[in-house]
């Protein structure tokens, strides 16, 4: 592709909408409404400030922000100027943020007021602190200083389809944070595929509860909504009572969440009395939807679209239509348009045709070109045009796919991926811990939570409360193990490698026994 082609860049989306539907509401941020005309005005002004200050194509702008209209303005400003938005999680500790900043190497860090202290703590741990500006009209939109160091010659160039637009962090089984790069074309094709599966129009109102540091906070409904001219109701954090109120008051027609969200909504005292007649479609991802929860929502007349995805794929890969939800319980569906999948034997790598089980591989224009400045991890995950998901899936004779287990040992808690190795490494920094292994166990509220198996050093003592507090100093809350098991030794396999599978078997057997006792 030549450098003058930008047919699929996202900066034009707000321009187009500001011309066709300028007074339509683009964003409802806690009651403060932003029209498409205003969104375009602010985004194009900020993009001009970035370019005038010397920022160029490929320069990275990190953020630390809750869901907000200001964050959306910054996203589209980056899209217009050819910059890369790197949204970091406010749920992380300063230690974790320091690691991600070191990897992303941003030219600027735009931080909301309430997270300034966390940003200062993270910056203090860097050899070269990142320049910080505040979010919004009184901050970065008012004045932008030039990048701290020159490393980009593409000043003033228009972005092209293959230029990076988003960089989001994900964890691998080895525990090292990796930055997934998504180009303008990746985001374009992901949203085009979504538009051909979910009938989202300019007349829709979307409730967005997924955090904007997560790819789902952009590429599952919100960006498509701004492309077609719909209204996005932004929520900073998820509160079931407030979400139910918004569903009724704003006449929300579509939303996306993880099973934990739908469970908290369904168990709220106001669920049965809330008017959900406008909600015609709800998308669920992150984990399989329990049958009882499916029946609960279908009983309220809400269609549920289930799916499967991962950041490296843009993220949408598989989708199960709402009319198939009850007949294909446990399945993640079939590929989205423009997405190709295949199954390979997890050991031999040979392709599996027809019904069978194997590792899921994904290909298509929405798949990331790789991890930022991590050639080894990219070479392992992206092979001959195919993304290795590391997930073991089963395909039936109709082509529907079901995720059986994660080959990489990751577990998903409340829609967030957790790396066992990362948690183990933190536990091992406690002076009383000699060995540690972490697994994911089933949980009624969060889908899965962490369970840590710990061997204490001789002549030492530590209890679950102390170890949890130790983890809290370095890990986000959702990564802290919910339970701790103390043992004299850990089960091993092969060359003295700890067997997480044996620990999972023990954990599941214990949970089954406990449930049987509860039913007596």
Nearest C-alpha neighbor of 30 from the set 249, 239, 236: 236
Query: In Å, what is the CA distance from 13 to each residue of 93, 136, 180, 227?
Result: 35, 21, 23, 5
> Do 92 and 119 form a contact (C-beta atoms < 8 A)?
no
Tell which phi-psi region holds residue 161, choosing left (phi > 0), alpha (psi between -120 and 50) or beta.
alpha
In Å, the largest CA–CA distance within the chain is 73
Return the number of other C-beta atoms located less than 10 Å from residue 301's C-beta.
Answer: 10
Can you tell me the distance from the alpha carbon of 339 to that of 367, in angstroms, rounded to the nearest whole number? 9
Q: List C-alpha distances in Å: 16 to 74, 77, 78, 234, 459.
A: 18, 15, 17, 22, 69
* Whether the Cβ atoms of residue 392 and residue 308 lie closer than 8 Å to each other: no
User: Is 149 domain-assigned?
Assistant: yes
Of 151, 168, 183, which marks where a domain is finished?
Answer: 183
Question: Residue 435: which CATH number?
Answer: 3.30.300.30
Domain end among 156, 183, 210: 183
The reply to whether 289 falls in a domain is no
Phi and psi (nearest 5°) for 75?
-60, -50
Domain end point (choices 133, 157, 183): 183
Helix (H, G, I), strand (E, B) or coil at 301: coil
- Report yes or no: 43 and 87 within 8 Å, Cβ to Cβ: no
What pLDDT, on a 0 to 100 scale, did the predictor assign at position 472?
A: 96
Q: Is 52 within a domain? A: yes
Residue 370 CB partners (closer than 8 Å, separation 6+): 181, 378, 381, 382
What is the Cα 472 distance to its own chain's centre? 21
Query: What is the C-alpha R_g of the chain?
Result: 23
Burial of residue 92 (number of CB atoms within 10 Å: 0-12, 13-18, 19+): buried
The answer as to whether 82 is a domain residue is yes
Task: Look up the domain containing 98 and give its range.
Answer: 7-23+35-183
- pLDDT tens for the chain, residues 1 to 520: 344 467 789 999 999 999 999 999 999 999 999 999 999 999 999 999 999 999 999 999 999 999 999 999 999 999 999 999 999 999 899 999 999 999 999 999 999 999 999 999 999 999 999 999 999 999 999 999 888 655 555 555 789 999 999 999 985 434 578 999 999 999 999 999 999 998 999 999 999 999 999 999 999 999 999 999 999 999 998 999 999 999 999 999 999 998 888 988 998 999 999 999 999 999 988 766 777 788 889 899 998 888 899 999 999 999 998 888 778 887 899 999 999 999 999 879 999 999 998 999 999 999 999 999 999 999 999 999 999 998 888 999 999 998 876 676 778 899 888 888 789 889 988 999 988 999 999 888 999 999 999 999 889 999 999 999 999 999 999 999 999 999 998 887 544 467 788 888 887 777 777 767 766 6
In this structure, is residue 369 part of a structural domain? no
Q: Is residue 434 a part of any domain in this protein?
A: yes
Rounded CA separation 343/400 (Å): 12
Distance CA 505, CA 511 (A): 10
Query: Considering its fold, how many domains does the chain have in total?
Result: 2
Structural domain includes residue 125: yes
For residue 270, the tally of other CB atoms under 10 A from its CB is 12
Sheet containing 370-371: order of strands: 132-134, 108-111, 60-64, 84-88, 164-171, 177-183, 370-371
pLDDT score recorded for residue 497: 62
CA-to-CA dists, residue 404 to 358, 359, 396, 494, angstroms: 9, 10, 13, 24
pLDDT of residue 154: 55
Sheet of 447-456, strands arranged across:
433-443, 447-456, 483-486
The domain spanning residue 90 has which CATH number?
Answer: 3.40.50.12780
- Do 174 and 93 meet the contact criterion of CB atoms below 8 Å apart? no
Q: Is 415 left (phi over 0), alpha (psi -120 to 50) or beta?
A: left
Confirm whether 273 is domain-assigned: no
């Amino acid at each position: 592709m030549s450098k003058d082609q930008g047919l699929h860049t996202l900066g034009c989306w707000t321009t187009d909408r500001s011309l066709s539907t300028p007074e339509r509401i683009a964003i409802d941020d806690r009651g403060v409404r932003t029209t498409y005309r205003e969104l375009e005005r602010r985004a194009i002004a900020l993009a001009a400030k970035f370019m005038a200050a010397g920022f160029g194509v490929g320069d990275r702008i990190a953020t630390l922000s809750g869901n907000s209209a200001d964050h959306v303005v910054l996203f589209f400003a980056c899209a217009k100027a050819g910059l890369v938005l790197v949204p970091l999680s406010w749920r992380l500790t300063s230690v974790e943020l320091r690691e991600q900043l070191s990897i992303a190497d941003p030219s600027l860090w735009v931080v909301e007021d309430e997270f300034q202290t966390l940003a200062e703590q993270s910056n203090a741990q860097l050899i070269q602190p990142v320049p910080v500006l505040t979010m919004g009209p009184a901050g970065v939109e008012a004045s932008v200083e030039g990048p701290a160091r020159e490393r980009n010659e593409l000043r003033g160039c228009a972005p092209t389809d293959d230029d990076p637009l988003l960089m989001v962090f994900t964890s691998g089984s080895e525990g090292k944070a990796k930055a997934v790069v998504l180009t303008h074309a990746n985001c374009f094709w992901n949203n085009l595929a979504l538009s051909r599966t979910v009938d989202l129009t300019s007349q829709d109102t979307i409730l967005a509860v997924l955090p904007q540091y997560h790819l789902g906070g952009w590429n599952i409904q919100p960006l498509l909504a701004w492309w077609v001219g719909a209204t996005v109701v932004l929520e900073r954090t998820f509160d079931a009572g407030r979400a139910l109120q918004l569903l009724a008051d704003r006449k929300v027609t579509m939303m996306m969440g993880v099973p934990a969200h739908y469970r908290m909504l369904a168990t709220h005292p106001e669920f049965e009395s809330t008017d959900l007649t406008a909600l015609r479609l709800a998308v669920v991802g992150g984990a399989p939807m329990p049958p009882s929860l499916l029946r609960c929502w279908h009983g309220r007349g809400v269609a549920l679209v289930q799916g499967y995805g991962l950041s490296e794929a843009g993220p949408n890969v598989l989708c199960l239509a709402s009319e198939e939800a009850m007949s294909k319980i446990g399945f993640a569906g079939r590929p989205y348009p423009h997405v190709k999948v295949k199954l390979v034997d997890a050991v031999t790598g040979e392709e599996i045709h027809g019904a069978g089980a194997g590792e899921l591989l994904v290909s298509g224009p929405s798949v990331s070109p790789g991890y930022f400045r991590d050639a080894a991890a990219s070479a392992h995950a992206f092979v001959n045009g195919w993304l290795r998901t590391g997930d073991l899936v089963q395909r039936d004779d109709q082509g529907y796919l079901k995720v059986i287990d994660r080959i990489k040992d990751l577990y998903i808690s409340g829609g967030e991926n957790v790396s066992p190795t990362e948690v183990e490494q933190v536990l091992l920094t406690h002076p009383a811990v000699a060995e540690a292994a972490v697994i994911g166990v089933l949980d009624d509220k969060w889908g899965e939570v962490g369970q840590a198996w710990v061997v204490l050093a001789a002549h030492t003592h530590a209890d679950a409360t102390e170890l949890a507090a130790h983890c809290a100093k370095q890990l986000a809350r959702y990564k802290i193990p919910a339970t701790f098991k103390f043992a004299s030794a850990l089960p091993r396999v092969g060359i003295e490698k700890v067997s997480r599978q044996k620990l999972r078997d023990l954990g599941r057997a214990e949970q089954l026994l406990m449930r049987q006792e509860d039913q007596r």
